[in-house]
Amino acid sequence: MPPTLRPSLPLTLIVATANKLGIGRHGALPWRLKHELGYFARVTSRVPPPLVRPGFKVQNAVVMGRRTWESIPERFRPLKGRVNVVLSSRAKGEGEGRGAVWCGSLEEAMRVLEGMSVDDDDDVEEEGAVKVGRVFIIGGRAVYKAALERPETKRVLLTRVYGDWDCDVFFPADIEHEKGWERKGLKEFRDWVGEEVPEGRVKEGEVEFEYCMFERD
């Protein structure tokens, strides 16, 4: 009999965009929002109870391009408590010993992560074995674009940052107005991320922003 294939892992994009869908400027975020960064860290790190497996270390995965990886201050790389996956055309030999899994494409990364994914039939393996719970796509533009073209992408966690920020990199789709995407209600949003996301606009310093969640079938 042929081996049973595991279902494809659903992908969740997490992104903050300014007006005109700007996401970056000169290789970095144009804004510094402490609360939003905390939200990003908590949501991408939190493994929901149904995915926890006794005998395994279950972590979420964060998938990013090489430039996004390099934009993270070195002292914070790899992002703690998560399986870091970096996409690079120079993946072979580039990432050894740097605390991340390096892959040549999103398709390759998906194959690797599916092999590490939580499964109901998993038995206890070697001590410290890591299993992957949720998978988050965290940038940059080309990686977001590739993920949006995959049927496994079911959800976008969008932080809408109000104002003009003179960005030079832009999110590849206006999902708020794109057919097939639906903004979910606050309760469903909170239930999925596992915390009390504030309703409507919030303010940090002089910057206003809003948390949203979109899904597609």
Which amino acid, 132? V
Angle of the 141-148 helix axis to the 106-116 helix axis, nearest 10: 70
Q: Is 29 a catalytic residue?
A: yes
The neighbour count for residue 22, using CB atoms within 10 Å, is 20
Residues contacting residue 128 through CB under 8 Å, at least 6 positions apart: 57
Burial 120-159 (b: 16+ CB within 10 A, else e): eeeeeeeeeeebbbbbbbbbbbebbebbbeeeebebbbbb
Catalytic residue among 21, 36, 106, 157: 36
Catalytic residue among 13, 29, 33, 148: 29
**CA quadruple 158, 153, 128, 192: dihedral sign:** positive
Q: Is 125 a catalytic residue?
A: no
173: three-class secondary structure by DSSP: coil
The DSSP 8-state label assigned to residue 25 in this structure reads: B
CB-CB contact of 131 with 53 (8 Å)? yes
CA distance readout (Å), 154 to 18, 77, 135: 22, 27, 11
Active site amino acids: 29, 36
